[in-house]
Structure 1
Amino acid sequence: MEDNREEQKEALQVLVEFNVRLVKNMKIVVKELSGKRLDDTDNFLKSIIDAMNWEIQVVNGTLDLLNEGKVRLDKDAFNAQVEKAGGAIASGDDAKMAEAFTELLPYFERLGEAAGEVI
Protein backbone atom coordinates (compact mmCIF):
# COMPACT_ATOMS: atom_id res chain seq x y z
CA MET A 1 0.00 0.00 0.00
CA GLU A 2 2.78 2.41 0.89
CA ASP A 3 4.58 1.57 -2.37
CA ASN A 4 1.45 2.51 -4.31
CA ARG A 5 1.26 5.83 -2.46
CA GLU A 6 4.89 6.59 -3.29
CA GLU A 7 4.26 5.75 -6.95
CA GLN A 8 1.26 8.08 -6.92
CA LYS A 9 3.38 10.87 -5.44
CA GLU A 10 6.07 10.31 -8.06
CA ALA A 11 3.46 10.43 -10.83
CA LEU A 12 2.08 13.69 -9.42
CA GLN A 13 5.59 15.15 -9.23
CA VAL A 14 6.11 14.44 -12.93
CA LEU A 15 2.63 15.79 -13.67
CA VAL A 16 3.39 19.10 -11.92
CA GLU A 17 6.43 19.66 -14.13
CA PHE A 18 4.65 18.41 -17.26
CA ASN A 19 1.47 20.40 -16.56
CA VAL A 20 3.22 23.76 -16.79
CA ARG A 21 4.21 23.06 -20.39
CA LEU A 22 0.81 21.58 -21.24
CA VAL A 23 -1.08 24.63 -19.97
CA LYS A 24 1.27 26.94 -21.88
CA ASN A 25 0.82 24.92 -25.06
CA MET A 26 -2.97 24.78 -24.64
CA LYS A 27 -3.02 28.60 -24.60
CA ILE A 28 -0.91 28.71 -27.75
CA VAL A 29 -3.06 26.18 -29.62
CA VAL A 30 -6.20 28.16 -28.74
CA LYS A 31 -4.68 31.14 -30.57
CA GLU A 32 -3.78 28.95 -33.53
CA LEU A 33 -7.26 27.43 -33.66
CA SER A 34 -8.80 30.91 -33.40
CA GLY A 35 -7.58 31.97 -36.82
CA LYS A 36 -3.80 32.00 -36.53
CA ARG A 37 -3.30 28.45 -37.78
CA LEU A 38 0.26 27.49 -38.69
CA ASP A 39 1.63 24.72 -40.91
CA ASP A 40 2.30 22.52 -37.87
CA THR A 41 -0.92 23.24 -35.95
CA ASP A 42 -2.31 19.74 -36.55
CA ASN A 43 0.87 18.10 -35.24
CA PHE A 44 0.98 20.53 -32.30
CA LEU A 45 -2.66 19.74 -31.53
CA LYS A 46 -1.97 16.01 -31.59
CA SER A 47 0.93 16.39 -29.14
CA ILE A 48 -1.29 18.44 -26.81
CA ILE A 49 -4.05 15.84 -26.96
CA ASP A 50 -1.51 13.12 -26.17
CA ALA A 51 -0.24 15.14 -23.20
CA MET A 52 -3.78 15.74 -21.96
CA ASN A 53 -4.53 12.02 -22.20
CA TRP A 54 -1.39 11.22 -20.20
CA GLU A 55 -2.40 13.67 -17.47
CA ILE A 56 -5.92 12.21 -17.42
CA GLN A 57 -4.42 8.75 -16.90
CA VAL A 58 -2.38 10.11 -13.98
CA VAL A 59 -5.54 11.66 -12.51
CA ASN A 60 -7.34 8.32 -12.78
CA GLY A 61 -4.50 6.60 -10.94
CA THR A 62 -4.04 9.21 -8.23
CA LEU A 63 -7.47 10.73 -7.61
CA ASP A 64 -7.73 9.25 -4.12
CA LEU A 65 -4.43 10.92 -3.17
CA LEU A 66 -5.31 14.16 -4.98
CA ASN A 67 -8.54 14.45 -3.02
CA GLU A 68 -7.23 13.11 0.28
CA GLY A 69 -8.49 15.28 3.11
CA LYS A 70 -10.41 17.62 0.80
CA VAL A 71 -11.71 17.78 -2.74
CA ARG A 72 -9.02 19.43 -4.82
CA LEU A 73 -10.31 18.21 -8.18
CA ASP A 74 -13.98 17.72 -9.00
CA LYS A 75 -13.82 14.53 -11.04
CA ASP A 76 -17.31 14.87 -12.52
CA ALA A 77 -16.81 18.47 -13.67
CA PHE A 78 -13.34 17.63 -15.01
CA ASN A 79 -14.67 14.62 -16.92
CA ALA A 80 -17.56 16.63 -18.35
CA GLN A 81 -15.16 19.23 -19.77
CA VAL A 82 -12.87 16.53 -21.13
CA GLU A 83 -15.82 14.88 -22.87
CA LYS A 84 -16.90 18.21 -24.35
CA ALA A 85 -13.37 18.76 -25.66
CA GLY A 86 -13.37 15.25 -27.09
CA GLY A 87 -16.53 16.03 -29.03
CA ALA A 88 -15.04 19.26 -30.35
CA ILE A 89 -11.85 17.47 -31.38
CA ALA A 90 -13.88 14.78 -33.14
CA SER A 91 -15.75 17.46 -35.07
CA GLY A 92 -12.50 18.84 -36.47
CA ASP A 93 -13.96 22.36 -36.23
CA ASP A 94 -11.23 24.81 -35.20
CA ALA A 95 -13.64 27.26 -33.54
CA LYS A 96 -15.30 24.51 -31.48
CA MET A 97 -11.90 23.14 -30.46
CA ALA A 98 -10.64 26.61 -29.47
CA GLU A 99 -13.74 27.15 -27.32
CA ALA A 100 -13.49 23.70 -25.73
CA PHE A 101 -9.78 24.13 -24.92
CA THR A 102 -10.50 27.58 -23.46
CA GLU A 103 -13.14 26.06 -21.17
CA LEU A 104 -10.93 23.07 -20.31
CA LEU A 105 -7.84 25.13 -19.54
CA PRO A 106 -8.86 26.13 -15.98
CA TYR A 107 -9.38 22.46 -15.12
CA PHE A 108 -5.84 21.57 -16.16
CA GLU A 109 -4.52 24.63 -14.31
CA ARG A 110 -6.38 23.47 -11.20
CA LEU A 111 -5.02 19.96 -11.67
CA GLY A 112 -1.46 21.33 -11.63
CA GLU A 113 -2.22 23.34 -8.49
CA ALA A 114 -3.86 20.36 -6.79
CA ALA A 115 -0.93 18.07 -7.60
CA GLY A 116 1.45 20.72 -6.28
CA GLU A 117 -0.48 20.93 -3.01
CA VAL A 118 -0.33 17.16 -2.54
CA ILE A 119 3.38 16.75 -3.18
Structure 2
Amino acid sequence: MEENTLKVQQMEALEELHNYLIKLVPAVEAIIIELRGEKRSDTDELFNAIINGINWSIEVLNRTMDIVNENDEVIEKENINDTIKKFSFAIREHNELDIADILEKNILPFLVTVKSRVSVITNRTS
Protein backbone atom coordinates (compact mmCIF):
# COMPACT_ATOMS: atom_id res chain seq x y z
CA MET A 1 0.00 0.00 0.00
CA GLU A 2 2.75 2.45 0.98
CA GLU A 3 4.70 1.69 -2.22
CA ASN A 4 1.58 2.44 -4.26
CA THR A 5 1.21 5.82 -2.53
CA LEU A 6 4.86 6.62 -3.29
CA LYS A 7 4.35 5.76 -6.97
CA VAL A 8 1.29 8.03 -7.13
CA GLN A 9 3.27 10.87 -5.54
CA GLN A 10 6.13 10.31 -7.97
CA MET A 11 3.75 10.41 -10.95
CA GLU A 12 2.20 13.63 -9.66
CA ALA A 13 5.69 15.12 -9.28
CA LEU A 14 6.54 14.09 -12.85
CA GLU A 15 3.35 15.71 -14.15
CA GLU A 16 4.31 18.93 -12.37
CA LEU A 17 7.82 18.65 -13.77
CA HIS A 18 6.44 18.28 -17.29
CA ASN A 19 4.25 21.36 -16.87
CA TYR A 20 7.21 23.31 -15.49
CA LEU A 21 9.58 22.25 -18.27
CA ILE A 22 7.13 23.58 -20.85
CA LYS A 23 7.95 27.02 -19.41
CA LEU A 24 11.57 26.46 -18.40
CA VAL A 25 12.89 25.32 -21.80
CA PRO A 26 11.90 28.55 -23.62
CA ALA A 27 13.23 30.60 -20.70
CA VAL A 28 16.61 28.86 -21.02
CA GLU A 29 16.61 29.52 -24.76
CA ALA A 30 15.94 33.21 -24.09
CA ILE A 31 18.60 33.57 -21.40
CA ILE A 32 21.26 32.06 -23.69
CA ILE A 33 20.70 34.92 -26.14
CA GLU A 34 20.73 37.49 -23.35
CA LEU A 35 23.95 36.14 -21.82
CA ARG A 36 25.67 36.37 -25.19
CA GLY A 37 25.22 40.11 -25.32
CA GLU A 38 21.58 41.06 -25.58
CA LYS A 39 21.14 41.68 -21.86
CA ARG A 40 17.95 43.24 -20.65
CA SER A 41 17.06 44.91 -17.40
CA ASP A 42 15.62 41.65 -16.03
CA THR A 43 18.34 39.26 -17.26
CA ASP A 44 19.82 38.67 -13.81
CA GLU A 45 16.39 38.08 -12.31
CA LEU A 46 15.47 35.65 -15.09
CA PHE A 47 18.81 33.87 -14.73
CA ASN A 48 18.26 33.37 -10.98
CA ALA A 49 14.77 32.00 -11.63
CA ILE A 50 16.20 29.61 -14.22
CA ILE A 51 18.85 28.40 -11.75
CA ASN A 52 16.11 27.71 -9.21
CA GLY A 53 14.08 25.93 -11.88
CA ILE A 54 16.98 23.72 -12.93
CA ASN A 55 17.67 22.86 -9.27
CA TRP A 56 14.01 22.00 -8.67
CA SER A 57 13.90 19.87 -11.81
CA ILE A 58 16.95 17.92 -10.67
CA GLU A 59 15.42 17.43 -7.21
CA VAL A 60 12.28 15.97 -8.79
CA LEU A 61 14.41 13.73 -11.01
CA ASN A 62 16.42 12.49 -8.04
CA ARG A 63 13.18 11.45 -6.33
CA THR A 64 11.70 9.81 -9.42
CA MET A 65 14.76 8.35 -11.16
CA ASP A 66 13.54 4.79 -10.61
CA ILE A 67 10.50 5.58 -12.77
CA VAL A 68 12.34 7.75 -15.30
CA ASN A 69 14.98 5.09 -15.94
CA GLU A 70 12.68 2.11 -15.38
CA ASN A 71 13.29 0.28 -18.66
CA ASP A 72 16.58 1.83 -19.72
CA GLU A 73 18.93 4.54 -18.52
CA VAL A 74 17.64 7.63 -20.29
CA ILE A 75 19.00 10.09 -17.74
CA GLU A 76 22.58 9.50 -16.62
CA LYS A 77 23.13 10.94 -13.17
CA GLU A 78 26.93 11.14 -13.56
CA ASN A 79 26.60 13.30 -16.69
CA ILE A 80 24.19 15.60 -14.89
CA ASN A 81 26.59 15.97 -11.96
CA ASP A 82 29.54 16.74 -14.26
CA THR A 83 27.52 19.36 -16.14
CA ILE A 84 26.35 21.00 -12.93
CA LYS A 85 29.95 21.20 -11.66
CA LYS A 86 31.07 22.95 -14.86
CA PHE A 87 28.02 25.21 -14.73
CA SER A 88 28.68 26.13 -11.10
CA PHE A 89 32.30 26.96 -11.90
CA ALA A 90 31.27 29.23 -14.80
CA ILE A 91 28.77 30.98 -12.51
CA ARG A 92 31.40 31.49 -9.79
CA GLU A 93 33.76 32.93 -12.41
CA HIS A 94 30.99 35.21 -13.75
CA ASN A 95 31.80 33.98 -17.25
CA GLU A 96 28.57 34.65 -19.11
CA LEU A 97 29.79 33.20 -22.42
CA ASP A 98 30.75 29.92 -20.74
CA ILE A 99 27.44 29.91 -18.88
CA ALA A 100 25.58 30.40 -22.17
CA ASP A 101 27.61 27.64 -23.85
CA ILE A 102 26.94 25.15 -21.04
CA LEU A 103 23.26 26.05 -21.06
CA GLU A 104 23.06 25.57 -24.83
CA LYS A 105 25.23 22.47 -25.25
CA ASN A 106 24.49 20.57 -22.05
CA ILE A 107 21.64 21.80 -19.90
CA LEU A 108 19.11 22.65 -22.62
CA PRO A 109 19.45 19.24 -24.35
CA PHE A 110 19.20 17.60 -20.91
CA LEU A 111 15.99 19.50 -20.12
CA VAL A 112 14.52 18.64 -23.53
CA THR A 113 15.37 14.95 -22.98
CA VAL A 114 13.79 15.01 -19.53
CA LYS A 115 10.69 16.75 -20.89
CA SER A 116 10.36 14.17 -23.65
CA ARG A 117 10.86 11.23 -21.28
CA VAL A 118 8.45 12.61 -18.71
CA SER A 119 5.82 13.25 -21.38
CA VAL A 120 6.03 9.57 -22.36
CA ILE A 121 5.78 8.42 -18.74
CA THR A 122 2.83 10.69 -17.93
CA ASN A 123 1.16 10.29 -21.34
CA ARG A 124 1.34 14.03 -21.97
CA THR A 125 2.04 15.78 -25.21
CA SER A 126 5.08 18.02 -25.34
Under a length normalisation based on structure 2, what TM-score does the superposition of the two structures give?
0.90
Give the counterpart letter for 1:105 in structure 2: L
User: Hey, what's the Cα distance between the residues in 2 that align with 1:51 and 1:25?
Assistant: 10
Which residue does the alignment assign to 1:109?
A: 112
Moved more, 9-18 or 70-79: 70-79
Give the counterpart letter for 2:39 in structure 1: R
- Quote the offset at 1:78 in angstroms: 2.0
- Quote the offset at 1:63 in angstroms: 0.4
RMSD: 1.0
List runs of 5+ in structure 1 lacking aligned partners: none
Moved over 6 A (4+): none
The question of 1:12 aligning with 2:14 is answered yes
The question of 1:76 aligning with 2:78 is answered yes
Match of 1:64 among 51, 66, 69: 66
The number of aligned residues is: 119
Moved more, 68-77 or 5-14: 68-77
Under a length normalisation based on structure 1, what TM-score does the superposition of the two structures give?
0.95
Percent sequence identity is: 27
- Quote the offset at 1:118 in angstroms: 1.3
List runs of 5+ in structure 2 lacking aligned partners: none
Where 1:68 maps in the other structure, the secondary structure is coil
